[in-house]
A = this chain, B = another copy of it.
Amino acid sequence: MRSRLEALRSVPFLRTLDEPTLKAVDARCAEKVYLKNEILFLEGDPPKGLLVIREGSVKIYKVGGTGREQILEIEGPGRSVAELPLFDGQPYPASCAAIEDTILLTMPVREFHALLERHPALSRAVIASLSQRLRRMVFLVRELSLEDVRTRLANLLLELAGSSDQVELPWTHQELAARIGTVREIVSRTLARMAQEGAVRIEGRRIHLLDRARLSS
């Protein structure tokens, strides 16, 4: 992710804007650096503006009474986060923290609303983007409610691998666990079991998917 402009341009719904408009927007964005583990905002906070990741990545998550953490979404460069409060004026439904050092652009709330009013095409793009998010949440609900840990982990691995037959795990077991709604130990054990069954081979942080059929069984 080179320039601020590039970052803005790669946000799905901002892509609909023409170049001059984008430049104007760019000029009004503040930039801020967050260190790994630093918190961008907490559940319940009032909207801060439209946040666009220029570099790094962040997690959107909820924490429960026991301190366990459920990650809703992880976003990387060229993605925006936490638009929800912008749209409905309600506070953030979840918290957000940097999972590595991160550079963030912030577009003021009013600026974004002005854009929305002036560019009808933007609204349609926003709708598409929200639809995406909603689908992901529905998927998550389905998994949490109806699938066991083994299956959820397998699905995550398959998703991370894409069409390749190996994954370089981008996160710790802790983070994997929070993503699929369980705890570190269980991820560790489940991976071990998968390896033992011959479904995967584990080389440190790299995982080879040996038998996709067996994995998703």
A residues adjacent to B (C-beta < 8 A) = 62-66, 68, 70, 72, 84, 87-88, 90, 93-94, 116, 120, 123-124, 126-128, 130-135, 137-142, 144-147, 181
Contact = CB atoms under 8 A, between A and B. Distances in A.
A63 B93 CA distance: 27
A144 B147 contact: no
A124 B134 contact: no
A49 to B, nearest CB: 16
11 contacts: A64-B142, A66-B146, A84-B131, A84-B134, A116-B124, A123-B124, A130-B130, A134-B134, A137-B140, A141-B141, A141-B144
Chain A interface SS verdict (over half):
helix
Contacts of A137: 134, 137-138, 140-141
